[in-house]
Amino acid sequence: MIRKHFAGFAASALALAVTAQAFAGTVTTDGADIVVKTKGGLEVATTDKEFSFKLGGRVQADYSRFDGFYTKNGNTADAGYFRRAFLELGGVMYTDWAYQINYDFSHNAGGDNRKEDGYFDEASLSYNGFKPVSIKVGRFDPEFGLEKATSSKWVTAQERTAAYDLVDWTNAHNGGMGIQVSGNAGDSLYGSAGIFAKDPNNQAQNGDSYRQANLRGVWAPWHEAGHVIHLGVDYAARDLKDTAFDGRITSRLGMRGVSTDGGQDAGDNGNKLLLGGIQNTPIGAYDIDSAWALEAAWATGPFSVQGEYLKRDTKADASNFSDIKSTGYYGQLAYTLTGEPRIYKLGKFDTIKPENKQYGAWEVFYRYDHLSTDDNNGAFANIGDIEGKVHNVGVNWYANEAIKISAVYVKSEVDNATNAAGDDSGQGIVTRAQYVF
């Protein structure tokens, strides 16, 4: 006898789905009716919405070729790898509780040189009984930035803006845990606040994890697909006073294939831009590391414009160290040639749904990224600001709601830094085949 509460558990839901393959519509039980959906993954839910279970995922296969600054000797290299290979499990229990577990088999979502055979990108539990307020605990990414809020499935370029490399700690959990409170006022206001204990590889004295706090606020007076005005502000800070940490500020400049996990990369010939900081930053060198950002976006019909501006200030706490200051921004233009708008949900953009099932939807875009760091310590003391500039020109083909094919040409320029061969510019192409279920 099947009862409604078993629908909230994976084994029962999977067994039910297999049994119900020959049927369409609603499966009736002695409790609440159960609905089985197979479009875009496997979903089982009770009609009273008290329990649900959804199994899905995403696979992103990338190939890139690049030269110049992207390699140490300036010669052409290539890379082929799975950028993401997620299995995703989520749902609702007892109406007010929600859970989400995302496991990445590609190794790539968690960062460089991760040694595990796999990686929990998210494992969280949320309580939604105080609507419109939600309380979330577990492992998940802090909120910081518009592009980060948008799922990796539906960001316009394959890689998010290189400006985020300046503040990579602000919107990644780095293997830590956290608690976040978020809420909205209608469809136009959204806010979140979180506290996180992060990064087991960069611990404070006595093995104590360092702490981080994040705040995000969004106002969207226009918030419908093809009719969007989005304004947002972000703030994050972490306490490094008693922490020895990897203080390097680096960037791949939009070309992940120079150094990646889960597949082929450029190996020892791959080159990343070092903008400031040192790897073995000693305890007591710095105090508060803080960052803030501004978000803005406007969309009308198939055309959209968006951008973000961010600043980071790493405060020195020792007399032989000085502050490190970083600034970054990007601006992006996107246009859907087939006329479809980008879907917008409060605080973030979502997918483009093709209207023509035969030809799909075609989108073209351009994005300019700029990032710079002023570090007057050590090797950087007599060097002006190190800057990176990245041009991204690309096309996305949304073949249907599950398959997306992308290609982008990336051109970078660097000030006050070169590779071993003396190159201060590089170029390359990145292609991606994505399947979402």
Q: Check: CB of residue 249 under 8 Å from CB of residue 166.
A: yes
The length of the chain in residues reads: 437
pLDDT in tens, 313-372: 999 999 999 999 999 999 999 999 999 999 999 899 999 999 998 999 999 999 999 999
Does residue 258 sit in helix, strand or coil? helix
Task: Provide the whole-model pTM.
Answer: 0.89
What's the rounded Cα separation, in Å, for the pair 436 and 404? 8
DSSP 7-69: GGSHHHHHHHHHHGGG--SEEP-SSS-EEEE-TTSEEEEETTSS-EEEEEEEEEEEEEEEEET
HSE on the CB side for 143, CA within 13 Å? 24
* Integer CA distances (angstroms), 4 to 38, 98, 144, 302, in order: 19, 16, 38, 43
Low-confidence ranges of the chain (pLDDT < 70): 1-31, 109-117, 199-207
Q: Check: CB of residue 103 under 8 Å from CB of residue 119.
A: yes
pLDDT of residue 21: 42
pLDDT of residue 111: 54
What's the rounded Cα separation, in Å, for the pair 224 and 341? 9
What's the rounded Cα separation, in Å, for the pair 245 and 305? 37
pLDDT in tens, 101-149: 999 998 776 555 554 567 889 999 999 999 999 999 999 999 999 999 9
pLDDT of residue 36: 87
Give strand pairing partners of 189.
185, 219
pLDDT of residue 345: 93
pLDDT of residue 35: 85
pLDDT of residue 13: 42
Backbone angles phi, psi at 334, to 5 degrees: -140, 145
Find the largest Cα–Cα distance for the chain: 77
pLDDT of residue 30: 58
